[in-house]
């Protein structure tokens, strides 16, 4: 296995309510849209991702297959899945950002029910964001 194939690490939020395969798809698209994954970069193997995340390999395979159907990646025989030359469109990025709105509204409602101020909630979010090691 090449060094390049081990550069991408995915994070799964089991409690998010979003299917794991969808989380993988969204993360790959985000990495491509933000140029964190350049065209020609190989994704980690299905087995490697499944082992690292302790998930069923079929889940990873499903995500990769759907990414291939959406022309985000292409299969290279004997080497694996490679990021295609065409990047994810800005429209797709906007669509994914739009998917966050219902989740954020839910946070607002719950914070209000718990009598938490917006500033406190934002500090909690920033703290959790840093804890996860996420990037802007």
> Is 113 in contact with 107 (CB distance < 8 Å)?
no
Give the integer Cα–Cα distance in Å for 68 and 74: 6
Give the integer Cα–Cα distance in Å for 44 and 118: 39
Any idea where the domains of the chain sit in the sequence?
Answer: 3-83, 90-132
Q: Spelled out in words, what is the top-level CATH class assigned to the domain 3-83?
A: mainly alpha
What's the pTM? 0.62
> Is 81 in contact with 44 (CB distance < 8 Å)?
no
Q: Is 89 exposed, middle or buried (0-12, 13-18, 19+ CB in 10 A)?
A: exposed
pLDDT tens digit at each of 136 positions of the chain: 444 444 457 888 888 888 999 999 999 988 888 788 889 999 999 999 999 999 999 999 999 999 999 889 999 999 999 998 765 555 666 777 777 888 888 888 989 999 999 999 999 988 888 877 654 4
Beta strand pairing status for 80-83 and 73-76? antiparallel
Question: What are the distances in angstroms from CA 52 to CA 41, 46, 132?
Answer: 19, 10, 16
Sequence length of the chain is 136
């Amino acid at each position: 296995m090449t060094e390049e194939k081990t550069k991408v690490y995915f994070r799964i939020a089991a409690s998010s309510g979003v299917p794991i395969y969808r989380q993988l798809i969204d993360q790959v698209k985000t990495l491509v849209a933000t140029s964190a994954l350049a065209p020609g970069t190989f994704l980690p193997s299905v087995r490697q991702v499944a082992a690292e995340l302790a998930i069923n390999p079929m889940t990873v395979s499903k995500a990769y297959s759907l990414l291939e159907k959406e022309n985000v990646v292409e299969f290279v025989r004997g080497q694996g899945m490679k990021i295609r030359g065409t990047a994810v469109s800005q429209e797709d990025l906007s669509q994914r950002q739009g998917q966050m709105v219902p989740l954020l509204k839910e946070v607002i409602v719950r914070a209000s029910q718990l009598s938490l101020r917006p500033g406190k909630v934002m500090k909690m979010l920033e703290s959790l964001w840093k804890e996860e090691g996420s990037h802007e």
